[in-house]
Structures are given as C-alpha cells and as structure tokens.
Amino acid sequence: MRIGIVSETWPPEVNGVALTVHGLAAGLAARGHRVDLVRPRQPEAGEVEPGIDEWLTRGLSMPRYPGVRLGLPAGRALHRRWRQQRPDVVYIATEGPLGWSALRTARRLRIPVATGFHTRFDHYARHYDIAWTAPLVRGYLGRFHRRAAATLVPTVALADELQSLDVHNACLLRRAVDTRLFHPDQRDPALRTRWGVEGDGPVVLYVGRIAPEKNLALAVRAFEAIRQRLPAARYVWVGDGPERAALQAAHPDFVFAGVQRGEELARHYASADLFPFPSLSETFGNVILEALASGLPVVAYNEGAAREHLHDGIDGYRIDQGGERAFVDAAVRLAGDPALARRMGRAARENIEQLSPDVVVREFEALLYELTKESEHARDALPSRA
C-alpha cells in the first residue's frame, strides 16, 4: 500500500506522539509499504529513512508550548500531491491546522482516513491560564474525529472519552515498547556515581516534559518525603520544558540530565530505582512502559498506560485521582524497602515483555487494509452515472 501519514510532531522532537508515529511509519516501511509522510519543517533536520517519502510544510511553535509544532494549513498543496500520488489510505496523527486540512483533503478525494487521539489539549488548557478555552477545544476535537472513518486510541478509557465527545468510531491500537533497548541490563554504576549516589542509595527518576501539566509539585513533594527518611536519596530529571529553569533554581541538589535518547535514555532508566509519575494529563504515557521494561517499579495515577499495564501491588502502585497522600506514601514505601522495589522491578519487566512493536505494526497494517476495503465497497455501491 501507499500510506499517507500526517503528523505535526516527529523525531528528533522527543514526546510520546512523535516516537509512536515514527515507530508506526518505520514499521510499515519495513513491511514493504510506501509511506508518504507529511509534517512541518523542523529547525533541526531529521534523518532520511528508507521507505519513507517526506514532504515538509510550513509550521510554527505552539504558543507557550514550544516543544510542540503546529503545521500550517496546506489543503491546496496536499490536494495536488495526493492527486498525483494518491495514497490508498491516510492516517492523521495530530489535530492541528495541518491535520485538519489533510482531513478535509482526504475526504474530498474520497481517500479513506483514520485519525489518532493522542493528546487531551482541553486538559492542558487549565495549566496555561486558558481554562476558558477547554469547551472550545473539546468541541473542535469532537468535530475533527467524527469526520474520520476510524479514530485510533491506545486505551479503552480513551475510547470512552471519545464517546463523551460524541465520537463513535474508536479503534483500539495498543502501544508498544522496545524491550530490547529498555532493559535492566542497561544499569550503569558509573552513571550512578556521576549522579552522586552513595552506595545503593535510592535514585528517583523523572522522565518527560518539565511543564505545568505534569503535576510537578507532587513529584517534588513525594521526593522530599523520601529524602526526609533517606537523606542520601537522589532525584534525577530527564527532559526539558518551560518549568526546568525555575525548578533547577529552587532545587540545585536535583540532577538535571536534559533530553536523552536511545541507549543513553535506556541507561538513565535502568540506573534508577523507582519511577513516580504524577501526571494527570496523559492520554497514555509512553514513559511508564519504558520504565516498566527497564525494571523500575512505577507509582502513577490510575489512567492511561498505568490503567492498562500497571498491576497494583505487583509491579508498582496505581493511585486513584485525588489521592496525593497515597501517591506520596507509595513512593516512600518503595524507596524505603529495596527488596520490595527489586521484586516489583522484576515483575515489571516480566509483565511488559509481550508488548512487541512488531505486533502493534501488524495490527495497524490490518486496520488500514480494512479501511481500504470498506472504501472500495462504498465506491462500488455508488450508482453508475452511465
């Protein structure tokens, strides 16, 4: 098949959507499909990948969220491109202006189209002093996804969320994690030494965007409670974002490692001891899978990846919303009981090993094939004009 993929985020940008879409595109290309990738031009050039034809459009950084790009509308240009090189099916991963124009163009050309529901921008609004826009954003998301033949979601809970937006075309496509890359064997004593770890002193890890919507105050509160009991504990932060400078100034004892990728990121995960993740804004949370694959017990709220893949009391703790005290207590319990943390870490690794990227790509491929067949049947059912 020739598969059109439209995304307003792509590596080297580091976020769950970019990495997920890249994995799907690369997996389809490896299976012999031709991928026609449409995305905004980035300040940092990405690598040319076999089987993926890139078409770069104009874009800009989202206001107050510079790590996320918005592609500008490109309907006319897309219409010309897709008439000359018509995709069999189009997958639109993001709901920005570029995604909207791609959706309208695909429908106009009667190309079957699926969308991805990755980011709850209506939830983000309250963290950026624009909470009044949340109903407008919800309305926009509903109109967007109702126009697709299918909307792909990584969890059952997100399918239910779509129902609340009056979107009834949800299809479950679970996320995967590279269990060969993210592995406990990546643990690096030399890296722990650079962090200033004394002996087996616990290392608490944060990985992700350092931004208001990630509930950072609770992350800090949990670590401070750990340090009251274990003064040698260290807190390592991987990532970047608008709150990093203020957080670093307020907590000069924290280790800020910046953005890490590939094996370096895997070493950071495996060299830590526990992963409290307090975010309440995730539609999924790829970092939870990466931590579990790396043998880290996780403390997280009972939504997204945690609801689907974290087994409470076995490989970490799932916390109900509003349970800040419970979140802190769970993190302290793990940090103060190394044997418990190691046992949960082993269980985490065992429970996550079946999430193969190859399986997810094959499921995605099958779904796209089904959309093309449904589109062909619909065209055949149209009355002849003869």
Domain shared by 135 and 277, yes or no: no
Beta strand 65-71 with 150-153 is unpaired
Domain shared by 168 and 20, yes or no: yes
Which CATH number belongs to the domain containing residue 248 in this structure? 3.40.50.2000
Domain shared by 280 and 370, yes or no: no
Quick one: residue 285, left, alpha or beta (phi over 0 = left, psi -120 to 50 = alpha)? left
Domain shared by 207 and 314, yes or no: yes
Read off the pLDDT band of 61 (50, 70, 90): confident
Read off the pLDDT band of 385 (50, 70, 90): very low
Domain shared by 160 and 84, yes or no: yes
Domain shared by 73 and 188, yes or no: no
Q: Are 88 and 1 in contact (CB under 8 A)?
A: yes
In-domain check, residue 161:
yes
In-domain check, residue 370:
yes
In-domain check, residue 261:
yes
Residue 61, domain extent: 2-176+356-380
> DSSP labels for 113-155?
EEEE----HHHHGGGGT-GGGHHHHHHHHHHHHHTSSEEEESS
Tell me the whole-structure pTM to 2 decimals.
Answer: 0.81
Domain shared by 239 and 207, yes or no: yes
Mean pLDDT of 114-139: 65
Domain shared by 190 and 303, yes or no: yes
Read off the pLDDT band of 127 (50, 70, 90): very low
Mean pLDDT of 229-246: 95
Answer whether residue 384 shows pLDDT above 80.
no
Taking the C-alpha atoms of residue 121 and residue 99, their distance in angstroms, rounded to an integer, is: 15
Write down the pLDDT at residue 91.
98
- The percent of residues in the chain predicted with pLDDT above 90, rounded, is 70
Give residue-wise pLDDT tens across range 240-276. Answer: 999 999 999 999 999 999 999 999 999 999 999 999 9
Q: Residue 322 CB: number of other CB atoms within 10 A?
A: 10
Domain shared by 115 and 195, yes or no: no
Domain shared by 348 and 366, yes or no: no
In-domain check, residue 386:
no
Answer whether residue 122 shows pLDDT above 90.
no
Q: How many domains does the chain have?
A: 2
* SS3 of residue 71 by DSSP: strand
Q: Which helix (H) or strand (E) holds 316?
A: strand 316-319
Write down the pLDDT at residue 386.
36
Write down the pLDDT at residue 131.
54
Domain shared by 97 and 203, yes or no: no
Domain shared by 348 and 362, yes or no: no
In-domain check, residue 385:
no
